Amino acid sequence: MNNELLYHIALTMVPNIGPVQAKMLVNRLGSARAVFTAPLETLQKIENIGQTKAAAIRSFRNFESVEKEMAFIQRYGIQPILYTDKAYPQRLLNCYDSPLLLYYKGTADLNNPKVVAIVGTRINTAYGRFATEKLITDLARLDVLVISGLAHGIDAIAHRSALKNRLPTVGVLAHGLDQVYPEDHAELAHEMIACGGGLLTEFRSRTDPDRYQFPSRNRLVAGMSDATIVIETGVKGGSMITAELANGYNRDVFALPGKITDPASAGCNHLISSNKACLISSAANLLETMNWGAGSGPARKTQREIFIELTPHEQILIDLLRGREDVHIDEINLKSGLSNSSVAAAILNMELQNVIFAKPGKRYALI
């Protein structure tokens, strides 16, 4: 594992090789080590690699920095999570640009059954603080995992409210785990780790926060959550980027409405009016849309009156749904082994035949 970890870290350091190509290379060649030992001609023939990137891989020699990173991981108890590990946030696997490798300090389950991201402005109003604290208090009984970016304003309020309600909360960072940014949140970060939460990043140690890295951080916040809730934001900014990313990942997005004259709510109002977010005024809106309440959905039949002949693809989905209350579309796509289009076609056909039904929050269940 240490040998393979070394080469995974090295692959993230090769110039012009992003997470999409890094995962493709590992999948194609079987391991990260094989990527660095493959002949130049083999690398050049791989889709979207070509001569320049293949040469960059073959000429990589900075293993001294890789070994320093591995020493840092061991010294400070950092958990490296490869994209093939069970501990890797499985929701992220459905995002094409998910990282090859994550660095984690904490104990929260990143695959908690219910994960909510709460984001917003760094300069919140009293209304935004109240709404955030009330929402998290009402969600406490569901044992959700609260994700945010450890920034000033709504992010910090969300983290502190989660701690107050004894919910695990994870801060996703735009820098390495050798520091905390902003610095005045160091105590908050330590408390999050100590109380069953954690800190997560795709960036190595000695990586300082840079404005170009925050959108990358935001994609993790959006991709590893079931729902993204925007509390207060202007029409531009990181929260709007996170909401757009969540929509692109086919995640549910919610926004807190505000006065049309309030700049702090302009972004939220825009998301709602453009149908990019559902209006949220209380936890009940979230519970209904995500089907996290009790007793939703049509009554199930105890015996099927007509036996329907299923296709092989449909049978795979039936096997995934059998014995479970419902399953999210992302999990179906991930575990079925089928293409997204094949899954969509099978689901549509079975809905028409009254074999399965759709629940709110992109979840499906057997009738």
In our burial notation (b when 16+ CB lie closer than 10 A, e otherwise), range 179-202 reads ebbeeebeebbeebbebbbbbbbb
Greatest alpha-carbon pair distance for the chain in Å reads 67
Question: Domain-by-domain residue ranges, the chain?
Answer: 2-72, 105-290, 312-366
Which residue stretches of the chain are H helix?
Answer: 2-13, 19-29, 32-37, 40-44, 50-58, 63-75, 126-139, 154-164, 186-194, 214-223, 238-248, 266-273, 283-290, 312-321, 329-336, 340-352
pTM over 0.75: yes
DSSP track, 130-185: HHHHHHHHHHGGGTPEEEE---TTHHHHHHHHHHHTT--EEEE-SS-TTS-SSGGG
What is the fold of 312-366? Arc Repressor Mutant, subunit A (1.10.10)
Q: Are 277 and 254 in contact (CB under 8 A)?
A: yes
Q: What is the DSSP letter of 293?
A: S
Q: Per residue in 135-168, is it b (16+ CB within 10 Å) or e — as a string? A: bbeebbebebbbbbbbbebbbbbbbbbbbebebb
Element (H, E) at 198: strand 198-201
List the one residue out of 345, 347, 242, 356 whose CA is nearest residue 298: 356
Through-space distance between the first and last CA atoms of the chain, rounded to whole angstroms = 44
Q: Would you state the pLDDT for residue 308? A: 59
pLDDT at 296: 41
User: For position 299, what pLDDT does the model report?
Assistant: 36
Look at residue 367 in the predicted model and tell me its pLDDT: 79
Phi, psi of 147 (to 5 degrees): -110, 140
The segments of the chain whose pLDDT lies below 70 read 1, 294-308
Of 3.90.1640.10, 3.90.1150.10, 3.30.465.10, 3.40.50.450, the CATH number of 105-290 is: 3.40.50.450
Region of residue 106 (phi > 0: left; psi between -120 and 50: alpha; otherwise: beta): left
* Confidence at residue 303, expressed as pLDDT on a 0 to 100 scale: 32
> Is 227 buried (19+), middle (13-18) or exposed (0-12) by CB count in 10 A?
buried
pLDDT at 305: 35
pLDDT score, position 62: 93
Are 70 and 205 a contacting pair, CB within 8 Å? no
- Amino acid at residue number 230: V
Residue-wise pLDDT for 85-120, tens only, equals 999 999 999 898 999 999 999 999 999 999 999 999
Contact 23, 101 (CB under 8 A): no
pLDDT confidence of residue 304? 37
- pLDDT for 298: 40
| CATH dotted code for 2-72 | 1.10.150.20
Which structure tokens are listed for 129?
């603080």
Residue 245, CA distances (Å) to 122, 139, 217, 227, 253 in order: 19, 24, 11, 12, 10
Residue type, 21: Q
